A and B are shown apart, each in its own frame.
Chain A
Amino acid sequence: MRWGMVINLKKCTRCHACIAACRIEHFLPMGMNWPRLIAWETDVPGEELTTIPVRCNQCKDAPCVEVCPAEATKKREDGIVYVDNDICVGCRYCIIACPYQNRTFLSRDKDPGYFPGYERTRFEKAGRKIYPHVVGTTEKCDFCMERIDAGLAKGLVPGKDREATPACVNTCQSRALTFGDLDDPESEVSKLIKEQNAFQLHPEYGTDPAVYYIDGKIGNAPSNIAPREEQTASHIQHLSTMEERAKQIFGKK
């Protein structure tokens, strides 16, 4: 089993919601962004072509793991690379080693509070307890491993069941993010990778990222027929407040 993510650039609207969701999920200090949208430059200096969402690639051959002298950056069986912040000594070798610049050192100035000079908000204070961050250590996206573990423990399937799926994937309004098991050829991610010519960023770095990208044209859908569950709006129908009398007055005759 190896968890992976497919980012669909033809769906991504560059709305930044994934960043906001990650900030909430992990109570990120102001200066920390685990996922980011970065400019994709052309060869002409200063000409920005587009932006592209990135987060830690959970590389198979992760240089950040190799260089860590304290063995604080670890790779799990399921491919997730994470930092044990109780062990991290803050040497920042991994930051230099990561060719994708997906790691951030949490220095004191990156944690000024939401409103510098004012009391921390109650959400911030609660976050200190629920999801503490250790100043002087390095952080990065960990594929929401707590969600995955808690979900699996309940028998849920990451990428399918919301509770077991990364927060950014859940919030994405255009459904540009897909999560699942790269080792399972039947998983949604594996199928997307195979069918839509997915690519990894900078394969020449030789780290074998678990985050893939697909791109192409919008449109050319083979059919515009709505599937039955869309036609019936079954996911919201049951919420309707329809009362007996209202049914008589307004209901379908």
Chain B
Amino acid sequence: MAEKKIIKTTCKSCHGGCGVLVEVTDGVITHIEGNPESATRGTMCAKGLSSIQHIDNPYRITHPYKRTGEKGEGKWKQISWDEALDTIAAKIKEASEKYGPWTVATSQGTGRGYNRYVHRFSRSMGSANVISPGYICHSPRIGLYGLITGYGRLYCDYHGWGGVFPKTQISWAKQLEISSADSEMAYWYTKSLDYCKNLIIVDPRATAFTSRATLWLQIRPGTDAALALGMINIIIQEGLWDKEFVENWTYGFEELKNRAAEYPVDKVSEITWIPKEKIIQAARLFAQDTPGVIQIGSSLERQANCGQTIRAIINLLGITGNIERPGSMISWVLPETGLIEDVFNEIPLTDEMRSHIYGGDKFKMGAARTCNPDTIIRELNKGEKPIRVWISVGGQQIVHLASTQQVVEGLKNLDFLVQVDQFWGPMAEMADIVLPSAHWLELDDIYDMHPRFMIEAHNKCVEPPGEAMSDAWIFNEIGRRVVPEYWFKDVETLLDHELRKAPITWKKFSERTVSGCFGPDQKYYKYKTDYWRKGGGFPTPTGKMELYSTVLENLGYDPLPFFKEPGESPYSTPELAKEYPLVLTTGFRSPFYFLAQYRNIPWLRTFMEYPTMQINPKTAKELGIEDGDFVWLESPRGKIIQKARLFPGIDPRVVAATANWFYPEAPAQGYRGVFISNPNILTNANYQDPMYGSPDLTCLICKVYKCKPEELKDPKYSDIFIKEHGGKPWAW
């Protein structure tokens, strides 16, 4: 009789959070489905379900390796864990003693499980140089929300715990319905739409929802601040703002009013390419049909005006009183387990650590706890060595940072690079030592969601392949060798430590799977109570929600939001735009991939085999491009190949490229095809947001032309694009 077990766990294939039931028969996973007894009620997306193909996937990294050839040559020797960990610890100690602990950087991919270990690890070594994609994804939102709520998180109240759902929803540069990005789950969002009166979508491209929404504002990429300010102006001019909230709980309304007056609707319509009537209607609906929420997407954080764009949107929420009301934006109360991130907050940043944050002098908001990656890449390219040793977990900086060529050249200049990862990819091919990490089906850990009203358990279902270990184990082991006073006997002790406030042990928590504060346990209208401030108010210097930010003012930034053209656009660089006439946006969400991941998961790759760019049929016709053609996208920095999809849902003046693309099946040489289709070949970091350092990744200009068939026969590309020539492993 086969032994069959059902293990309750939590998916982490995006930012995560869906409860999962895994059926394990005699040690083999035979079924995965959602757990109906979870916050996502038994639903799961294609990415989470396809996790089954992480198991026995021949492309997994299974053992520690050390490089024996040149970087990018793909020559490796298998080594033991002890040798790997001892070597890494020695390198860290050496760099730290000779050049200072800040020359050791720790980097990560998206904010998933390892996030808090990355910070603890870095701080325990005495370095604040954490290299995180946060500055182009979520940190600007957190930081700027923090100017109002102190604690830095505002999320959409999709749950009805306060009695009502949002009446008007704006989905701004986000496709939460297919991404569950930032752990606000697609299930919650789509359920809340059942109770929604008006859905307004701000997106340069049509989505499944745009034609069905109340309003679709098809915006020119990079002009979102102008739209937000234009809406604020209309609301104020028409007297539609929330008078009670503004009068009692905000600071700087008059100043904001004057600033917004600089954005009359005709001007905004011209800037954004959105018809004037639609902007007016959106402003009225949002101001009148309250409560409302705005779901902000990370595309806005990949722009050089990101800080002020987000500020403008927050102010739009402020003047409509959509803060802390049921059905509006809210900062969730923590569950009894407290703030799981305290596992790194308990090691505070010292002034010395702070003073060595690269880019900290310039990008002051971004430097709250991470450095500016582009600054480091620039220095490395100059032949400087701001960083000597770089410990990288999960992320693919080569893929997601601006200017791929410069990142590759820069990283070659490091003394020592470690990549901790599940699969071979560009960063692993650059590394000196590669460590195998376990997938969420293969590990015990705590899942800490961004909205923070609950935590869940990742329970190990099967053994990892070969010698792979969990990220928590890997950090703990390196930590124990370098700064043992900060690290733990084993992972279980670490997890117990993280849960101690509840108090609950890991063993017990892993059976329960959830610790949450939901339903009537949540608290609304915190500013009307002593929650943030005795006698009520917001935890800001003025005690009010600061429409005019005194904090930004003190840091030397404009305290009021403004619009600025993208670094390269038909208006800011008209001469350049003659050569590169199309606006290019990159990085729209795909339901099959999470950023740079999953091109090596066959089920997911069947859904989009090649990176796809969308182009309006009219534009395509003028350029002689047909649906399915391979095309070149070119900017002053270089050119890439993507497959053209003729799509009437995009403005004829705009094209959209799939971002974060490398070919895991491509050889190590060429860093697994990272130079072929990755849009960051086209971007640069010349224009950066003054607060966060975010470069223009989602708003630039390009030209598009058809790829000649003989170009694809070039040996550089033929294996990838011409199936008869191999096409393995994607032979299907």
Which residues of A does B touch, CB under 8 Å?
9-17, 19-21, 23-25, 30-31, 42, 44, 46-50, 110, 112, 114-119, 121-123, 125-127, 130, 162, 167, 170-175, 215-221, 223-227, 230-237, 239-243, 245-247, 249-252
Contacts and interface: CB of A to CB of B under 8 A. Distances in A.
A14 B591 contact: yes
28 contacts: A13-B190, A13-B209, A14-B591, A19-B607, A20-B49, A24-B31, A24-B52, A46-B627, A114-B603, A117-B728, A162-B36, A170-B33, A218-B193, A218-B209, A224-B165, A226-B162, A226-B163, A226-B164, A227-B160, A230-B159, A233-B161, A237-B518, A239-B514, A241-B335, A241-B336, A241-B504, A243-B336, A246-B502
Interface in B586-626: 591-592, 602-603, 606-607, 617, 620, 626
A17 B732 contact: no
Contact of A122 (B55, B58, B454, B518): B55
A167 B53 contact: no
Given A47-B646, A170-B42, A174-B190, A220 B197 contact: yes
B327 A13 contact: no
Interface stretch (B22-30, B133-141, B396-404): B22-30
Given A118-B58, A224-B165, A15 B212 contact: no
A207 B729 CA distance: 41
B520 A17 contact: no
A44 B647 CA distance: 11
Interface string B308-351: 00000000000000000001000000111110000000000000
B213 interface: yes
A191 B506 CA distance: 47
Contacts of A223: 195
Interface of B: 25, 28-34, 36-46, 49-50, 52-53, 55-59, 159-167, 175, 177-178, 180, 185-187, 190-191, 193-199, 208-209, 211-214, 291, 327, 334-338, 454, 501-504, 508-509, 512-521, 591-592, 602-603, 606-607, 617, 620, 626-627, 645-648, 728-729, 731-732
Mostly, the A contact residues are: loop
Nearest 8 A/B pairs, CB to CB: A226-B160, A246-B336, A121-B56, A174-B190, A233-B519, A230-B160, A20-B49, A20-B46
B337 A241 contact: yes
Contacts of B503: 243, 245-246
Contacts of A130: 30
A243 B327 contact: no
A15 B45 contact: yes
Contacts of B194: 221
A121 B162 CA distance: 47
A48 B646 contact: yes
Mostly, the B contact residues are: loop
Contact of A16 (B160, B519, B607, B728): B607
Contact of A241 (B29, B212, B512): B512
A240 B514 contact: yes
Given A115-B729, A224-B195, 12 more contacts: A14-B591, A16-B46, A24-B31, A24-B33, A30-B732, A50-B208, A112-B732, A173-B40, A215-B212, A221-B197, A243-B336, A251-B521
Contacts of A231: 160-163, 519-520
A241 B208 contact: no
B39 A224 contact: no
Contacts of B336: 240-243, 246-247, 249-251
A219 B196 contact: yes
Contacts of A126: 25, 28, 30
A215 B211 CA distance: 11
A114 B602 contact: yes
Contacts of B40: 173
A183 B696 CA distance: 57
A152 to B, nearest CB: 19
A219 B186 contact: no
B297 to A, nearest CB: 15
A238 to B, nearest CB: 8
A46 B504 contact: no
Contact of A224 (B43, B55, B197, B337): B197
Contacts of A245: 503
A219 B57 contact: no
Contacts of B213: 217-219
B34 A48 contact: no
B520 A19 contact: no
Contacts of B53: 114, 121, 123
Given A17-B49, A235-B41, A49 B603 contact: no
A46 B503 CA distance: 60
A121 B55 contact: yes
Contact of A218 (B43, B196, B337, B520): B196
A13 B163 CA distance: 27
Pick the most buried of B59, B185, B731: most chain A CB atoms within 10 A of its CB: B731
B44 A17 contact: yes
Contacts of B31: 24-25
Contact of A217 (B165, B214, B626): B214
Contacts of B591: 13-17
Contacts of B161: 226, 230-231, 233
B212 A162 contact: no
Pick the most buried of B37, B41, B160: most chain A CB atoms within 10 A of its CB: B160
Contacts of B195: 221, 223-226
Contact of B33 (A21, A49, A221): A21
B322 to A, nearest CB: 13
A10 B180 CA distance: 18
A235 B159 CA distance: 12
A240 B603 contact: no
B7 to A, nearest CB: 15
Contact of B191 (A12, A112, A175, A219): A175
B32 A24 contact: yes
Contacts of B159: 226, 230, 233
A240 B516 contact: yes
A48 to B, nearest CB: 6
A232 B516 CA distance: 13
Given A14-B591, A237-B518, A241-B509, A173 B212 contact: no
A123 B56 contact: yes
A10 B592 CA distance: 20
Nearest to A50: B208
Given A15-B178, A121-B57, A219 B197 contact: yes
A116 B730 CA distance: 8
A223 B31 CA distance: 39
Given A122-B55, A231-B520, A240-B335, A19 B626 contact: no
A196 to B, nearest CB: 13
A50 B167 CA distance: 27
A19 B592 CA distance: 11
Contacts of B186: 13, 15, 173-174
B52 A123 contact: yes
A233 B190 CA distance: 16
A172 B208 CA distance: 15
A130 to B, nearest CB: 7
Contact of A13 (B33, B208, B607, B648): B208
A226 B165 contact: yes
A173 B39 contact: no
Contacts of A236: 37-39, 454, 514, 516, 518
B729 A118 contact: yes
A20 B29 contact: no
Contacts of B338: 250
A126 B160 CA distance: 43
B110 to A, nearest CB: 19
B38 A224 contact: no
B212 A217 contact: yes
B206 to A, nearest CB: 8
